Amino acid sequence: MKAIFKTMSVIVAVLVVCSLAVVTANAAGKKIVVGFSQIGAESAWRVANTESIISEAKKYPNIELKFSDAQQKQENQIKAIRSFIAQGVDVIAFSPVVETGWTPVLKEAKRAGIPVILSDRAVDTDDDSLWVSFMGSDFVEEGRRAAQWLVDNYERLKNPAKSMQVVNIVELQGTVGSAPAIDRKVGFEEVIVKYPNFKIIKSQSGDFTRSKGKEVMEAFMKAEGKKIDVLFGHNDDMAIGAIQAIEEFGLKPGKDIIIVSIDAVRGAFEAMLDGKLNCTVECSPLLGPQLFQAVNDLMAGKTLPRRIVTEEGVFPQEVAAETLPTRKY
C-alpha cells in the first residue's frame, strides 16, 4: 500500500512539474522549443516524413524546432535526446529506430519534466508514463492488409504456368528490432496462416533500404530462383531494389513474381505503372501537422490522446494511373 502511494505521489509530482513548465513557457510568451530526433534517411518514406515535420514547424511562429538526424543509429538518438534535455526544450518528439533500450533516457526526460511524444514508431517499455502520446500507423494492420490483398488476388494475377497448390513467398523485412518490421510480420502471418498453400520460404532484413533490398533479393533468387511466386516487402524501397534483382535474374517482376509492399510512395506507383509491382499498402509519413497540433495542445494544458492512428488505404496496380497525380510523397 505504502509503495503504491509512493508511486502515485511520484506520478502526480511529475505531472505538476510538466504542467508548470507548460504554463511558464506560455505565460512568458516565449517560443515553444521542440527537439525532434529523426532516424535518418533510409527510405523515400523517411525523407517525406522529415520534410513534413520541418515544413509544418515553419508554419508556427510560436514554435522553434531543433531537428537531429541519427543516421540510423540508436546511440545517436539517445545522444540527441540527452542534448535536448540538457538544453531544456519544452517537448521532445522522436521516431525510435528500434523498439527497446529507451527506458533510461526516457526516465531522464521525465525527471527533467519534459513530455515525450512518439512519432511514427512505438517503444517497448514497462513504464507507459514515460511518453504522453504515440502518433502513427497501425503496422500490424498494414501487414494484414498486404496479406489479405495477396490471398484475394494471387490466383487472378499469377503466371498461368504456376500452380495454386503451393505459393512460395519471400519476405524482405525492415530494420531488425524496429516496430514496423516486427508488427508487419505479425499482421502478415496472422492472415497467411489461414491459407496453408501460402508459405513464407525465406525471410530476411533488407533494413528498409533499396540497396539492401536488392542485395537480399539477389541472394533469395540465387537460392530459390523460379520457385519464388511472391515477394512481400516491408517497404516500397526494398521492393524497388528487389525488382532490379528479379530483372537481372531474367524474370519479370509483377508477372513471374507477384509483389506487394508497404508505404505507397511515388516510386511504388511508378513501378505499378510499369507493371512491375502489383500492390502497395499505404503508410503515411505526413505526420508533421498532427505533431505540431499535439505540441500546441499539450502546451495549452490539454491532455493528448494516448494513441493517434493514421488513416490509410490500399492501392493495387489497377488504380495507380488515376492515383499517382494525387500523391503527396
Q: What does residue 291 show for φ and ψ, rounded to 5 degrees?
A: -65, -50
Closest CB 10 distance from ligand AHR, rounded Å: 32
Distance CA(275)–CA(186), nearest Å, equals 28
Q: Which is nearer to ligand AHR, 22 or 283 (CB)?
A: 283
Grid cell locating 134? 504515440
Length of the chain: 329
Q: Judge contact between 120 and 136, C-beta under 8 A.
A: yes
Closest CB 49 distance from ligand AHR, rounded Å: 8
Closest CB 236 distance from ligand AHR, rounded Å: 7
Q: Which is nearer to ligand AHR, 118 or 167 (CB)?
A: 118
Closest CB 314 distance from ligand AHR, rounded Å: 14
Three-class SS of residue 180? helix
Distance CA(146)–CA(281), nearest Å, equals 6
Closest CB 121 distance from ligand AHR, rounded Å: 5
Q: Which is nearer to ligand AHR, 96 or 113 (CB)?
A: 96
Q: Which is nearer to ligand AHR, 50 or 317 (CB)?
A: 50
Q: Which is nearer to ligand AHR, 63 or 179 (CB)?
A: 179
Binding positions for ligand AHR, rule: CB under 6 A: 42-43, 45-46, 120-121, 180, 208, 235, 237, 262-263, 283
Distance CA(44)–CA(46), nearest Å, equals 5
How many C-beta neighbours within 10 Å does residue 149 have?
A: 19
Closest CB 235 distance from ligand AHR, rounded Å: 4
Three-class SS of residue 157? helix
Q: Which strands sit side by side in the sheet containing 230-233, from one edge to the other?
A: 198-205, 167-173, 230-233, 258-263, 279-282, 314-316
Q: Which is nearer to ligand AHR, 44 or 257 (CB)?
A: 44
Closest CB 52 distance from ligand AHR, rounded Å: 13
What sign results for the dihedral spanned by CA atoms 97, 169, 329, 244? positive
Q: Which is nearer to ligand AHR, 85 or 116 (CB)?
A: 116
Distance CA(324)–CA(266), nearest Å, equals 7
